[in-house]
Amino acid sequence: MGELDLKKKCITSLEYNLCSTEEVPMDCDITLPDYLPEVRKVLKCFAIPGVAGTSLSGSRITTEGSTTIRILYVSDKNEICSYEQGVPFSKYIEALEYADASVVDCEAKVGYINCRAVSQRRLDIHGALSLKFFTYKNSETEIVLGDLPKDIEKRECGIKNCNSVANAIRFFSVNQVETLKDEPCIKSVTRLEGYGLINEIKVIKDKSLIKGDVITSVSYVSAESESIEHHSLKIPISQIVDAIGLDEDEIMDASLTVMQLNAFPKADVNGEYKLLDVSAKIKVEVHAYKEETLVGVTDAYSTKQLLNTESSNVPLYEYKNEIKETFLVEGDLGLSMSECNEIKDIWPQDIVYNTTTKDGVLKVDGTITYGMVGISEDDINYFERNVYFEFKKDYAGSSEIHCMPRLLVLGTNQSAGSSGGFSVKSEVSIEAHVFEKLTKELVYNISSGELKQVDDDVAVVLYFACENESVWDIARKYNSTVSAILLENELEDEIIAENRMLLIPR
């Protein structure tokens, strides 16, 4: 076999692999400090895991982080109180087959958690975390381009693809001390929620400057009236992320995720607890894609020599559009007045969703789990309720859609429902880049062989073609060319419209 002068190109796609799922025990013993009152009833034990960093060394992937255990309880004085304690965790796995990954990541979720009051000041916590280890790497597939030597007949195919060019994950910390001006002093923080928003991305060669905010919502017990108060703050961020391969004319998919969030009350110069020290651990994730239009080859042959064509199925991702919208989630909480007379605080505890595509419609649906602190018959209780939601978006395309949406609950309000219970309304943002995934069989190599033995005594072959038969297949079989057959038979289309006789020039 001889080598031909071929022009080739690499198609690069982002390969996302789940390496392993591991369980890590989460056990600790909590003793309340002397300044906190004793426990009468535990309302809820929250476990909030946060990964602080994941690294790859050789074939070993290691992750480290901390789980915040927050105890929300009712004291012996019938007051709402809270206490939190951090429990560090670390885990590594051996992943030899993913040792060439460009980026590694880990997702931590609570498998289960149990809280038992050993005494009025001591709590026994037992649970486990579920850690999912992921890797990202650019997978390259080489294809032959349509610019072939003149003596080779080719069947071409137009290709639109978004090459994966850069991937990066970075962790960083932010901190801000907030002054409560016209709000009551803080007795204890009962709830803390936060999310990251990107406002601006500036790209230079191999670097991106990401600007945004960490939006934080804090609920706390007032030191003056024992009521639950709410305070929101915005922490600005500006970070440079290194990502080799990044350039200005690329599609940027970036996100900010709050991995850990802490808030502690502090005394001001007057001795009043009017300061709130908020710190957060943030993960910024960057993926970049470059749109490219190419002409590939699906088949090739020569009338003069034998050719060996090698082909494979190549995944292609054509960029369709960006989704960046907000929508409302509304629903009845299924909480009657007999169960709860008044909701003191409500927040989105968790959001779970699935993404499906059918008949040109992208659908994201799932549930938001709301946590609530409410009063019923002079007692304080904790409630959880799920509310279903659905988001739909039309898209132009008939093939498989690749889309990994990110959903954030931006704000939540509750009100009295029409049936005498309570209803909830949340504003939810959805962001996603939508790709249409195609798989095409493309030639990745062509090599030449021996010269063909041509019968010079035969100038034309008479062939009876069937309806829907391809002129390409006929030309290949009889060592002719598509253009010669079309010209000889005055055809305009390469697909035979009806049964007929053809003259095949040799």
Cα–Cα distance for residue pair 138/140, rounded to 1 Å: 6
According to DSSP, residue 484 is labeled H
Give the pLDDT of residue 395: 79
Q: Both tokens of residue 448?
A: 């030449």
Q: Are 93 and 133 in contact (CB under 8 A)?
A: yes
The one-digit pLDDT tens for each residue of the chain (506 residues) are 567 889 999 999 888 888 899 999 999 999 999 989 999 999 999 999 999 999 999 999 999 999 999 999 999 888 999 999 999 999 999 988 888 888 999 999 999 999 999 999 999 999 999 999 999 988 899 999 999 988 899 999 999 999 999 999 999 999 999 999 889 999 989 999 999 999 999 998 899 999 999 999 999 999 888 889 999 999 999 999 999 889 888 999 999 999 999 999 999 999 999 999 999 999 999 999 999 999 999 999 998 888 999 999 999 999 988 999 999 999 999 888 888 889 999 999 999 999 998 888 889 999 999 999 999 887 899 999 999 999 999 877 666 888 899 999 999 999 887 667 899 999 999 999 999 888 999 999 999 887 776 666 667 889 999 999 999 999 999 889 999 999 999 999 999 999 999 999 97
The answer to whether domain 454-505 has CATH 3.40.50.620 is no
Cα–Cα distance for residue pair 61/337, rounded to 1 Å: 51
Strands (DSSP E) found in 377-456: 379-394, 400-402, 406-416, 422-451
Q: Which of 168, 110, 158 is nearest to 293 (CA)?
A: 158
β-strands 80-94, 406-416 pairing:
unpaired
Q: What would the DSSP string read from start to end of 14-72?
A: EEEEEEEEEEEEEEEEEE--TTSPPEEEEEEEEEEEEEEEEEEETTEEEEEEEEEEEEE
> Which residues fall within 8 angstroms of residue 388, CB to CB, at 6 or more apart?
331, 365, 366, 367
Amino acid (1-letter code) at residue 460: V
Q: Measure the CA dihedral 367/371/377/379, to 10°.
A: 150
Residue 405 — φ and ψ, nearest 5°? -70, 150
| Comma-separated ranges of CATH 3.10.350.10 domains in the chain | 454-505
Give the pLDDT of residue 420: 72
According to DSSP, residue 98 is labeled G
Give the count of beta carbons closer than 10 Å to the beta carbon of residue 3: 9
Cα–Cα distance for residue pair 391/427, rounded to 1 Å: 12
The number of residues in the chain equals 506
Q: Are 254 and 198 in contact (CB under 8 A)?
A: yes
Cα–Cα distance for residue pair 269/1, rounded to 1 Å: 86
Q: What would the DSSP string read from start to end of 177-188?
A: EEE-SSSPPEEE
According to DSSP, residue 457 is labeled T
SS3 429: strand
According to DSSP, residue 466 is labeled P
